[in-house]
Structure formats: structure tokens, C-alpha cells
Structure 1
Amino acid sequence: MTGYVYIVTNHKNGTLYIGVTPDLERRIYEHREGLTPGFTSKYGLTQLVWYEEFWDIRDAIQREKTMKQWYRKWKIALIETMNPDWRDLYFELW
């Protein structure tokens, strides 16, 4: 089963959330619509600014755990490598 690690935010250099999912399009839709109570709903984290695909969900889970230990500046550098303008990538998924 494939998996994705992703980062959502509320605006450029705003609050960041790292998550993992087997279905990126569905999961980001849930964040955008506030369908899941918790951290992302509380802070309005609706913009997908970075993601990475893995062929095995277990690898995605490990990557998420590792990234959650990173310094914020490392996460920002990763986002800006893929998405320097911090575009919302949700509409580019399909």
C-alpha cells in the first residue's frame, strides 16, 4: 500500500502540521473542510504546501515520525525546496 507524508499550514511561514495517509486527496479534503476535529481544525491548517509519496506506507510512517522531530527551520527549508511560493498544492494533485 502506498503512503504519503504531507505538510499543511494556514499561511506562508504559519503553523505547520505533518501527517501521513494512504489517500492524500481525501485527507487534504478533510483538512480543508474541517471534518476532523483537532489541531488542524483548531488552527485552520487547510493549505497543502509539501508532500512526498512512498511505495510502502510503513516507510511513510517512519518518515513522518522522523520529520516531527526536526527543527522548524528544516521543515521550512524542505517546503521551500519543493514549493518556494508556498502555493496550495491541493488543486495540483489531479
Structure 2
Amino acid sequence: MKKFVYIVTDRNRASLHVGMSADLIKTLDFYKQMPSLFFDHAQQLTRLVYFEEFKTESQALSRFKLISRFTRMQKERLVRSCNPDWIDLTIGLDFEHITMNRPIPTQVKMPLTIMS
């Protein structure tokens, strides 16, 4: 089973939170539904800016512990190394999740084109 280590932030990048999850989509949905559970309303951690995927829990746990000890500057460098514009990556994940669960049409009809 896949495991993920991730960094989420608020819209102002004031807080950087490192986490670990087996279901990244469900975890991010939780952050969005309960935004002020851990922080006040101004620091809603709803933007996924970094994540890594691992095959085993021990690999993920090791990486989680390492990144958790990073200074803020080190975390920012890590995010910028693969997401320099701090784009919210949940958009791509949601798209992937939606398309993976959508039934694949068994027959595709091509439109007829008439050339004059």
C-alpha cells in the first residue's frame, strides 16, 4: 500500500505542516472540511504544496521524521525544488482521482466528417 509524506500550507504561506498519510485525497479533504481544527481560521491549511509517494510505511515514516526536523528554510527549499510557484497540487490529484474512478467507455464513436 502506498504512503505519502506531504507539506500543506495556508494561503499566505505562514504555516508549513508536514504530514504522513495512506490516502492523500481523504486527508486533504479532512483539512478542507475541518480547517480550524489545528490552527485558527486565518491559517487554514488547505494548500498541498509538496508530496512524496513511498511503497512502504517504514520508508515514509523515515522521510516524515527527517522532514519534520527541517527548519522552515529547509522546508521552503524542498517545496521550491519541485514547486517553485507554490501551486496547490490538490487540483492535479483530484483530477487523477476522478479520472481513475470514472468508467472507461467500451466503445468510442467517432464523428463523421464530410469533406467538400
Whose RCO is larger (CA < 8 A, sep 6+)? 1
TM superposition score normalised by structure 1: 0.88
TM-superposed CA distance for 1:82, in Å, is 1.0
Alignment of 1:16-55 (within 5 A): 16-34=16-34, 37-39=37-39, 43-55=43-55
CA offsets, 1:55-81, max 9 Å, x none? 112211111111111111110011011
Kept after mapping to 2: 8 A contact 1:40/1:46 = no
SS in 2 for 1:7: strand
User: Which 10-residue stretch deviates more, 8-17 or 52-61?
Assistant: 8-17
SS in 1 for 2:27: helix
What is the CA RMSD across the aligned residues, in angstroms?
2.0
Residue in 1 that maps onto 2:104:
none
Structure 2 unaligned residues grouped into runs of 5+ = 97-116
Distance 1:38 1:3 in 2: 22
Distance 1:58 1:36 in 2: 30
SS in 2 for 1:38: coil
Kept after mapping to 2: 8 A contact 1:30/1:36 = no
Which runs of 4 or more aligned residues in structure 1 lie more than 3 Å from their structure 2 counterparts after TM superposition?
A: 39-42
CA offsets, 1:16-50, max 9 Å, x none? 00000000111111111217832487831110000
Residue in 1 that maps onto 2:56:
56
Greater strand proportion:
1
Q: Percent identity?
A: 33
2:66 partner amino acid: T
Larger radius of gyration: 2
Distance 1:11 1:86 in 2: 10
2:45 partner amino acid: L
